[in-house]
Chains A and B, each alone.
Chain A
Amino acid sequence: MARIRSGLATSHVPAIGAAMDLGKVDEPYWQPVFAGYEWTRRWMAQERPDVVILVYNDHASAFMLDMVPTFAIGCADTFVPADEGWGPRPVPVVPGDPQLAAHLAQSLILDDFDMTILNAMEVDHGLTVPLSLMFGPVSEWPVKVIPICVNVTQYPPPSGERCFRLGESLARAVGRYDEDLHVQIWGTGGMSHQLQGARAGLINQAFDRQFLENLSADPQALRRISHVEYVRESGSEGIELIMWLIMRGALGKRVEELHRFYHVPASNTAVGHIVLRAEGFAL
């Protein structure tokens, strides 16, 4: 039987990918950022998940022009890195898991989540930067990836509450899959940042730290944060944090926090990273 054993969350700042691609990881600006992921790379090498359900938002690369799906699931065999204006990132093509993805799509829709099915999609930094952070520079990705895309850029995004329930539904769907698979779920984006207007550069460390704490201490409180509160407190792009709630919703009532990291800044953004183990999957 397939099971979601653990989850993690991370920011997906494009400059982090550029720093890796351009060999800047040891520079004083970047070294503290990458230090925060060393624990996770070691842990990941031991965990060796088969599949990662990777929740992220597209940044006007695959969607937002002709189509704006609220929730979408990638069902393709492979996903090619997108050219975001400076050439595609020099990272491997991302392998999918069309069979599990089809099962998840069917289960979610029958559970009243109206997923858009993606049979072809290029993936941007939102998906490839988290993979690079967790696995480092590799010639091929050591996991299959099922992308779940959430609209967080064109108002209105789904509520945090609905994201949490989508995570719960994903966990039930994975549990009904016959193959014996070790599955992880990743929520990406955030933490506080604003990329526009006179408030550009906004960082709210108190909000971010409370959010990290509440993923294990009080996830129910996180479900109630409104869109306006996210934008007011964590900036117009901080609302990406609703994607972390899909991850948290998929891990069940209680979680064990294994690793936490917080650093300001990477480019315009507060970098947050947390690793959580679902109850019942202690080593």
Chain B
Amino acid sequence: MSHHSDSSSQFSDIPGTTVFTTLSSRRAYQLHRFCQSLMKESNRAEFKADEAAYLQRYPMSAEQRQAVRDRDFNRLVELGGNVFFLFKISNTDGSSVQQTVATMSGMTAEAYAAMMLAGGRSPAGIRSIQRGD
């Protein structure tokens, strides 16, 4: 049993959704320092020139570093990342937010864009794991 009550646990009933918490923020602090460094053009240029060397400047975990190299945004969220920090990486790559979000949904960018044009993903059936609706 958990030694503290975590009011964020009620969100685990919502499928396909990770809530960014104070603890995630702590886990991803160095990852997020790296992401925020990309708000400077000179840093973006250095990152693009040698990603591996640039990432060594930030003492994040090896898993986080690899997920950045892989542009695996779902994995980065699993490792504590928050999308608004992570978009600094995709912005640096010149990818749109929609293209980046599509990679997390498991759909191609084209299929995702078509779904959005058709009104987006319906909440029907993906509200609650427990209720099954």
- Identify the A interface with B (CB < 8 A): 14-15, 59-61, 64-65, 68, 82-87, 153-156, 192, 194-205, 207, 228, 231-233, 236, 264-265, 267-268, 270
Contacts and interface: CB of A to CB of B under 8 A. Distances in A.
B56 interface: no
B54 interface: no
Contacts of B2: none
Contacts of A267: 96-98, 116
Which 5 pairs across A and B sit closest by C-beta, in order of nearness? A203-B120, A85-B91, A198-B16, A199-B16, A60-B84
Interface in B1-45: 7-8, 10-11, 14-22, 24-25, 29, 32-33, 35-36, 38-41, 44
A196 B25 contact: no
Contacts of A268: 97-98, 101, 116
B82 interface: yes
Interface residues of B, number: 59
B121 A154 contact: no
Contacts, number: 159
A83 B41 contact: yes
15 contacts: A60-B32, A60-B88, A68-B22, A85-B92, A86-B94, A192-B120, A195-B83, A196-B17, A196-B74, A196-B77, A197-B74, A200-B104, A201-B102, A203-B121, A268-B116
Contacts of A200: 16, 101-102, 104-105, 112, 121
Contacts of B35: 60
A7 to B, nearest CB: 26
B119 A205 contact: yes
Contact of B77 (A197, A231, A233): A197
B106 A198 contact: yes
A197 B119 CA distance: 18
Interface string B66-95: 000000011001000011110111111010
Contact of A199 (B10, B17, B38): B17
B120 A154 contact: no
B42 to A, nearest CB: 11
Interface centre among B21, B36, B84, B87 (most CB of A within 10 A): B84
